[in-house]
Amino acid sequence: MLNVFAEDYLATIGSADFAPRPKVSGRLASFDGLLMEAVGLQLPVGTVCAVGGDNGASRVEAEVIGFRNGRTLLMNLGGPAPLLPKSPVRPLGPPGEAEVGAALLGRVVDGAGKPIDGLGPIRGATRWPLAGKLQNPLDRGRVLESLDVGVRAINGLLTIGQGQRVGIMAGSGVGKSVLLGMIVRAAEADVVVIGLIGERSREVADFLETKVAGAARQRSVVVAVPANHSPVLRIRGALRATAIAEAFRAEGKKVLLIMDSLTRVAHAGREIGLALGEPASARGYPPSAIAMLPNLIERAGTSVSSGGSITAIYTVLADGDDGNDPVVDSARSILDGHIVLSRQLAERGVYPAIDLGPSVSRVMTDIAARDHVHAARVLRRHLATYEENRDLVLMGAYRAGADPAIDAAMACHPAVMDYIRQDADEVVPLEASVAELTGVFGDG
């Protein structure tokens, strides 16, 4: 019996197409806690490597980010580890692919694609390039259909279209995440992909339990990379969330991509660029950190070939409430619209604190009816007139009847504020938002 097994086993080995390959390995030459330099191996940028692990020692993962003077530069993906000089550096696999598909619905993964929700491994997923597939500009369809997001002020005054890229811009603590939660709960989309990049760890559990609870969880995919993770993982998390959305779009689905926040992605790019020795330019950002944003944002949009779309909403943190911050300015020039949140409105108790003056949707005139656009312009005109003369009115320097435009703005101001205000758990459909807007301001 043993001889029969041995003959079968040897025959199987002899018929197999066996080609021995040497194991690629290098040695760690320097390590400062984040940036590593290895010698003795040549690997493409993006390859993930295991560093350490000899004789039972702990190991960390690192990603190849560049080369310098014949050495391979790697960025630490994990936490601190007791690494020693000349620790082995071995590649773990080819770079640049993400697990995508319906198997990810309802799951939460980290920047490396590993599930962190305790529901076991992800089975049945397909592969998609992390960097995406280059799209012909002529295959990018126009934005012609509106998307209901359940927020009255956005539906009526800053109407969003399917395939539009929008930025929510504000300083810290003004209500960006709360507004995102309102949109996620009410948005009419087949799939919602959420990238929580560089934010607080507490927000991940809070977002799952309050914003995407119940039925919304089953159509959502969450990529969570908190602020204490490596900058490379933060960037990979943003790329992974976009790749997952692209794969669903290729299936013809309407995808809503939420990324909180785009600024943290730029911060991660700044850390990597400075570690590589790039010169700091605008406010400490190296050129590569700002140049990375168009490559990420341009991947969203509609697809003529599949009929699917990615409607992307990015939060953009304005450091110091500065609207001319390099990340804010760069994102504003690329996006198809931006929603600015005002700290002054938030201090007055107006939530969501949308500042309509600098906010704009560049596709609203293509997707909204003429009477809808007219009513939105009337409301904006009344609000702008009131804000310009607010100080005069409060000081008592304005006499009623001196200017009909100011009188009309003062009379309409309570209705304007009531239209903008909305409770966080309230959902106002698109049709109701437009009907209320045209009913109050349609004759202005």
CATH number of 372-441: 1.20.1270.330
Percentage helix, strand, coil for the chain under 3-state DSSP, each rounded to 5: 40, 20, 40
pLDDT value at position 282? 73
Residue 101 · residue 247 · CB < 8 Å: yes
pLDDT value at position 3? 60
CA 265 from centroid of its chain's CA atoms? 8
Query: pTM score > 0.75 for this model?
Result: yes
Does 100 have pLDDT greater than 70? Answer: yes
> Which residue in 338, 235, 330, 317 sits closest to 282, CA to CA?
330
Domain extent listing, the chain: 21-91, 102-362, 372-441
Residue-averaged pLDDT of the chain:
87
pLDDT value at position 14? 56
CA 366 from centroid of its chain's CA atoms? 25
Q: What is the rounded CA–CA span in Å between residue 207 and residue 212?
A: 7
Start-end of H helices in 348-444: 364-367, 370-388, 390-395, 404-420, 430-441
User: Tens digit of pLDDT for each residue in 112-123?
Assistant: 888 998 889 999
254-260 vs 97-100, strand pairing mode: unpaired
CA 344 from centroid of its chain's CA atoms? 26
Residues 6+ apart with CB under 8 A from 136: none
Q: What is the rounded CA–CA span in Å between residue 296 and residue 319?
A: 21
Start-end of H helices in 80-175: 152-157
Give 207's DSSP letter: I
Which architecture does CATH list for 102-362? 3-Layer(aba) Sandwich (3.40)
Q: What SS3 class is residue 108?
A: strand
**CA distances, 213 to each of 103, 184, 299, 311 (Å):** 18, 10, 28, 21
Q: What is the pLDDT confidence band of residue 97, given thresholds at 50, 70 and 90?
A: confident
Does 105 have pLDDT greater than 90? Answer: yes
User: Tens digit of pLDDT for each residue in 389-439?
Assistant: 988 888 888 888 888 999 999 999 999 999 999 998 899 999 999 999 999
> Which residue in 197, 225, 229, 227 sits closest to 78, CA to CA?
229
CATH number of 21-91: 2.40.10.170
Q: What are phi and psi of 199, to 5 degrees?
A: -95, 180
Residue 214 · residue 284 · CB < 8 Å: no
Q: What SS3 class is residue 301?
A: strand
